[in-house]
Amino acid sequence: MSVRQLNQLQDCDLEIESTDKLSALATAKLNENEELRRAKALLAKSQSELDALLKLQKENDWSISDITGKMTVANESLYSGRVRNPKELGSLQQELESLKKQRDPLEETAMGYMEKIEDTQKRIKKFEDDLKSLESRLGAEHKSLHLQIEELTVKLAQLKEGRKKIILAIPPEELNFYAEIKTRRGIAVAKIDKGTCGRCRISLSSAELQKARSGKMAQCSSCSRILYFE
Ligand SMILES: [Zn+2]
């Protein structure tokens, strides 16, 4: 009679399942890290903000140097002595003033960009530092996760070796029966606990109890699991 071996097989299978689960969990943790993803996203966002600001700053600077160039030309004409006509001189002066009026707000904008760029650069530096320290912390965590996975893999291989030995002692039709109930119920063997099925908790008839006690293959009439009398 191999109910004892079936129970042994079940203990082994349950341990294999839980080891598998732990290993999958550690692997998932190793591969996905929300914290790291967020830190990288923050850094990338600030970097693209900086790129956009630098582009705007460049465009603004071009406008300023364009106007400055025109002002230089007007200034030279005004003070070169070549233009004597008061009307022309007046219009040059007017042009200079109007150019200055165009340039002043652009210069203010330039100051604003400089401040924003400085702030963004500071922020990027902070995010880079945060990311670096997170990566070094995760490095230690990852090391221990790799170690854990390695240990679980060894344990799993040992359990599977043990399982092979256990099933050698079980007749194939009983193995099939076990597998069939396991597929349906998750747990195939139920220990008898104070006259009840240890899984569904129903009281067992004296006939069922006697059958199980004698070592014969007895099934719970309620959940159909194989009853095991320890
Ligand atoms: Zn039951």
**Ligand 1 centroid from CA 213, angstroms:** 16
**Ligand 1 centroid from CA 193, angstroms:** 11
Q: Give the count of beta carbons closer than 10 Å to the beta carbon of residue 73.
A: 14
Residues 6+ apart with CB under 8 A from 84: none
Q: Where along the chain do its domains lie?
A: 17-165, 172-228
Cβ burial, residue 206 (10 Å; 0-12/13-18/19+): exposed
User: Which of 1.10.10.10, 3.40.1080.10, 3.40.50.150, 1.10.287.1490 would CATH assign to domain 17-165?
Assistant: 1.10.287.1490
Per-residue pLDDT of the chain (230 residues; tens, 9 = 90+): 579 999 999 999 999 999 999 999 999 888 878 888 899 999 999 999 999 999 999 999 999 999 999 999 999 988 888 888 889 999 999 999 999 999 999 999 999 999 999 999 999 999 999 999 998 988 888 899 999 999 999 999 999 999 999 999 899 999 999 999 999 999 999 999 999 999 999 999 999 999 998 888 899 999 999 999 88
Q: Which of 12, 9, 106 is nearest to 59 (CA)?
A: 106
**Ligand 1 centroid from CA 7, angstroms:** 15
**Ligand 1 centroid from CA 205, angstroms:** 12
**Ligand 1 centroid from CA 226, angstroms:** 8
pTM of the predicted model as reported, rounded to 2 decimal places: 0.61
**Ligand 1 centroid from CA 127, angstroms:** 58
Cβ pair 87, 69 in contact under 8 A: no
**Ligand 1 centroid from CA 195, angstroms:** 11
| Cα-Cα end-to-end distance for the chain | 13
C-alpha–C-alpha distance, residues 66 and 45, integer Å: 32
Phi and psi dihedrals of 67, rounded to 5? Answer: -65, -40
Cβ pair 31, 142 in contact under 8 A: no
Q: Give the count of beta carbons closer than 10 Å to the beta carbon of residue 167.
A: 19
> Which CA distances in Å does 113 have to 56, 61, 105?
8, 10, 12
**Ligand 1 centroid from CA 229, angstroms:** 13
**Ligand 1 centroid from CA 73, angstroms:** 100
**Ligand 1 centroid from CA 64, angstroms:** 87
